[in-house]
Amino acid sequence: MQYQLERMLPELEDLESRKLFSRSEIKEIVRKRRDFEYMLKRPSTLKRDYLRYVQYETELEDVRRARKKVISHSLLSKGEKWRGSLCDRASAMRIMFIYERAVTRFKGDLDLWFRFLEYCRAQGSRRFQKVCVLRTCLKSSILLRNQSMNAVPFRSFNCPWNLG
């Protein structure tokens, strides 16, 4: 768990240096992330723990984007541009990593798999989405033999196999 927190350090420093979050806000972010990481390390972790962590990170990313937009406008008025940085992509990668751990823990949960795939699609992560589709198709093909094919929207993810 300490490793997960240490991996956040460059992103958090970037957020502070770009004045997207204050020092106290970053401390709160670290505290919340630590709490979520401890929650995920419990032996009795629930699916909703992962989903709450994803929800928190999504809301945090929304705040970051809104603040970035304000700062970008002020930079444009000075004739400068916002230059891309680590904080622009770290949140999406973290959310994908949370989903990856969730689907590893709850392998048979198709709803969780499809939430993960929808997130990848929304982020435009083509390479990661292809890997997820392949894993989903392979791992869930066994589950689908016992479920109604109408309940699972594989066609929307361009699954390369006929699972019928």
pLDDT 10s digits, 101-137: 999 899 888 889 889 888 887 887 676 666 666 666 6
Q: What is the mean predicted confidence (pLDDT) over 49-56?
A: 97
Task: Say how many domains are in the chain.
Answer: 2
Same domain, 119 and 97: no
Question: Quick check: pTM over 0.75?
Answer: yes
Domain boundary among 90, 106, 122: 106
Q: How confident is the model at residue 50 (pLDDT cuts 50, 70, 90)?
A: very high
Same domain, 100 and 122: no
Would you state the pLDDT for residue 137?
A: 63
Same domain, 129 and 60: no
What is the percent of the chain with per-residue pLDDT over 90, rounded to a whole number?
35
Tell me the per-residue pLDDT of 146-162, one tens digit each, with 9 for 90 and over: 454 444 554 455 554 43
Same domain, 132 and 149: yes
Would you state the pLDDT for residue 161?
A: 40
DSSP assignment of the chain equals: -HHHHHHTHHHHHHHHHTTSS-HHHHHHHHHHHHHHHHHHHSTT--HHHHHHHHHHHHHHHHHHHHHHHHHHHHHHHTT--PPP-THHHHHHHHHHHHHHHHHHHSTT-HHHHHHHHHHHHHHT-HHHHHHHHHHHHHHHHHHHTTS-GGGS-GGGGT-SS---
**Residue 131: how many CA atoms within 13 Å on its side-chain side?**
6
State the chain's mean pLDDT as an integer.
80
Same domain, 79 and 15: yes
Please give the residue that has the higher pLDDT: either 140 or 117: 117
Please give the residue that has the higher pLDDT: either 12 or 155: 12
Residue 130's domain comprises 108-164
